[in-house]
Amino acid sequence: MVDIPWKKRKLIARLIDPDHAGEETLVTAVRLADEAGVDIFMAGGSLTSVPVTDVIRKLKQLSSIPVVLFPGNLTQLTAGADAIFLLSLISGRNPELLIGSHVIAAPLLKNMRERVIPVGYMLIDCGGGTSVEYMSQTSPIPSGKNDIAVATALAGEMLGMKAIYLEGGSGAARPVNPSMIKAVSDELTIPVITGGGIDSAEKVEVAFGAGADMVVIGNGCEKNPELIKGACRVRDSYNRDTFII
Ligand code: 1GP
């Protein structure tokens, strides 16, 4: 069981896509994450050919940073992670991703229920089609529709979700609009996670400044592994200025 320090400070999560995590890449990513002080590893992806469980095992061997399973589908369910994001795709209207998969997963998850974190997962249009849009067969919330995003996130909070994830999609052309992050985080009492297309320290700063509690970076660090250091520096300066730590 991992106690994620939501709301106590801003957090950086490094998303590891199992298909892009060969031995050498993973060792380097872990070393840089340890040096930078990454808060959380997330492991998973929309479509993976390498078992997520293998990547989680390696992450646990190499580092003491908590690992959160970020399952793209039911085949990725595994017991090895410190926590599991149980995602409901509340921006969409695909019943399988709102409840169907959860029913199938429940008997497998019941023995690790204390590690399950229900997350309202919201796909936001950030330019260009994304894998999650196609794989989920759902439409994203249009970029400028903050009112729809706020209403959806509020519904997620009132349904009992423990966090809301504003997702631009891996490798999105641009991150989630900061005005939407602000509109949503202003209305919620639960943490706001955002990710997708965050490929610079400046974009991390914009997301935190808008109210994100946790910023997720995957692709950006695959292209530029040193980005994680800049991202964590931004987090640290933000935390110094905002929280007593
Ligand atoms: C995807 O939000 C995450 O689910 C991370 O996206 O790979 O674009 O950083 P990137």
Ligand 1 pocket test target in 41, 203, 216 with most atoms within 8 Å of CB: 216
Establish if 146 belongs to a structural domain. Answer: yes
Quote the domain boundaries for residue 77.
Answer: 11-238
Angle between helices 201-210 and 178-187 (to 10 degrees): 30
**Residue 21's closest CA among 62, 47, 58, 67?**
58
Establish if 243 belongs to a structural domain. Answer: no
Q: What does the mean pLDDT of the chain come to?
A: 95
CA of 225 to the centre of ligand 1 (A): 14
Establish if 61 belongs to a structural domain. Answer: yes
**167: amino acid identity, one letter:** E
Establish if 5 belongs to a structural domain. Answer: no
128, two tokens: 């260009």
| Distance, CA of 209 to CA of 198 (rounded, Å) | 14
Tell me the per-residue pLDDT of 149-186, one tens digit each, with 9 for 90 and over: 999 999 999 999 999 999 999 989 999 999 999 999 99
Establish if 31 belongs to a structural domain. Answer: yes
Ligand 1 pocket test target in 47, 130, 167 with most atoms within 8 Å of CB: 167
Mapping DSSP onto H, E and C, the string for 61-115 reads HHCCCCEEECCCCHHHCCCCCCEEEEEEECCCCCHHHHHHHHHHHHHHHHHHHHH
pTM strictly above 0.95: yes
Establish if 57 belongs to a structural domain. Answer: yes
Establish if 4 belongs to a structural domain. Answer: no
Instruction: Tell me how many domains the chain contains.
Output: 1
> What percent of the chain shows pLDDT beyond 70?
99
> What percent of the chain shows pLDDT beyond 90?
91
Instruction: Look at residue 45 in the predicted model and tell me its pLDDT.
Output: 87
CATH of the domain at 166: 3.20.20.390
Q: Give the confidence band of 244 by pLDDT, cuts at 50, 70, 90.
A: low
Establish if 245 belongs to a structural domain. Answer: no
**1: amino acid identity, one letter:** M
Instruction: Look at residue 241 in the predicted model and tell me its pLDDT.
Output: 86
Q: Is residue 1 predicted with pLDDT exceeding 90?
A: no
Tell me the per-residue pLDDT of 196-216, one tens digit each, with 9 for 90 and over: 999 999 999 999 999 999 999
